A and B are shown apart, each in its own frame.
Chain A
Amino acid sequence: MSSLHTINKSTAHCAMTSCMKALQSGDSILLIEDGVYASAQLSQYNIEGVSIYALREDLLARGLPTTQLPGAIQAVSYCDFVDLVCRHQRCVSWT
């Protein structure tokens, strides 16, 4: 019963820390909009069994790298976003 968690705020907001508290193994995180700024901090968390993605367009827009991202964060396209939504039972959007 996995969830896809989207985060759309930088770490100045508590969206990321709140999301961290609500995770379960098997869940995924997708960073979108200003959430992509959280990729460095997010990689410091060692979250067992949780895959982390960042939306490529939002990374590019902000001058952030899309390859060799910190941790095991993977840049994904909008199509992958749709695919992720379909592969999880529900979406939780942390704003």
Chain B
Amino acid sequence: MSIDNAKTITFISRSTPYGHGRAKACLDMVLSAAVFEQKINFIFMDDGVWQLKKGQTPSNIDAKDLSAAFAALPLYEVNDLYVEASAIEERGLSLDELVVPAQAIESAKIAELISLSDVVFTL
């Protein structure tokens, strides 16, 4: 089954993983959109890059491990994962500290991805 009029939907996740529902809500929206076979860009900006940090053990704070879900994204055919290069750098992170491979992009590329999208969600 394929949908001819699939839209390009860009999700920009900008929040830390715990303490609120924003990161989880964004992930849920991505998974839902993926089930409907839409073309998806998943961008992590600002504090959103913390979601991808390796070694999270949120069971310590009685929270579910959000980062475990990212490795399953290819099964949902979500393959375009991006991180904002400066957000990674400003937080002293590096790409090999992330739970999944993501493409580091400059802000101009984020602007370009937005301009090529039918719908953009930031959360």
Interface of B, secondary structure class, is mixed
Q: How far is the CA of A93 from the CA of B114 in the complex (A)?
A: 12
> Which residues 10-26 of A have a CB within 8 angstroms of B?
14, 18, 21-24
Decide if B111 touches A94 in the complex (CB within 8 Å): no
Q: Which residue of chain B has the shortest Cβ distance to A93 in the bound complex? A: B122
Count how many chain A residues have C-beta atoms less than 8 Å from C-beta atoms of the other chain. Answer: 15
Q: Which residue of chain A has the shortest Cβ distance to B116 in the bound complex? A: A1
> Which residues 97-115 of B have a CB within 8 angstroms of A?
107, 110-112, 114-115
Q: How far is the CA of A22 from the CA of B111 in the complex (A)?
A: 4
Decide if A90 touches B110 in the complex (CB within 8 Å): no
Residue B120 at the A interface, CB < 8 A?
Answer: yes
Q: How far is the CA of A2 from the CA of B111 in the complex (A)?
A: 10
In the complex, which of the residues A14, A23, A24, A93 contacts B46, with contact meaning CB atoms closer than 8 Å?
A: A14
Decide if A21 touches B111 in the complex (CB within 8 Å): yes
Interface string of B6-24 (1 = CB under 8 A from A): 0000001010000000000
Q: How far is the CA of A24 from the CA of B123 in the complex (A)?
A: 20
A-B contacts besides A3-B120, A22-B111, 5 pairs, CB < 8 Å: A1-B116, A3-B114, A21-B110, A22-B12, A90-B117
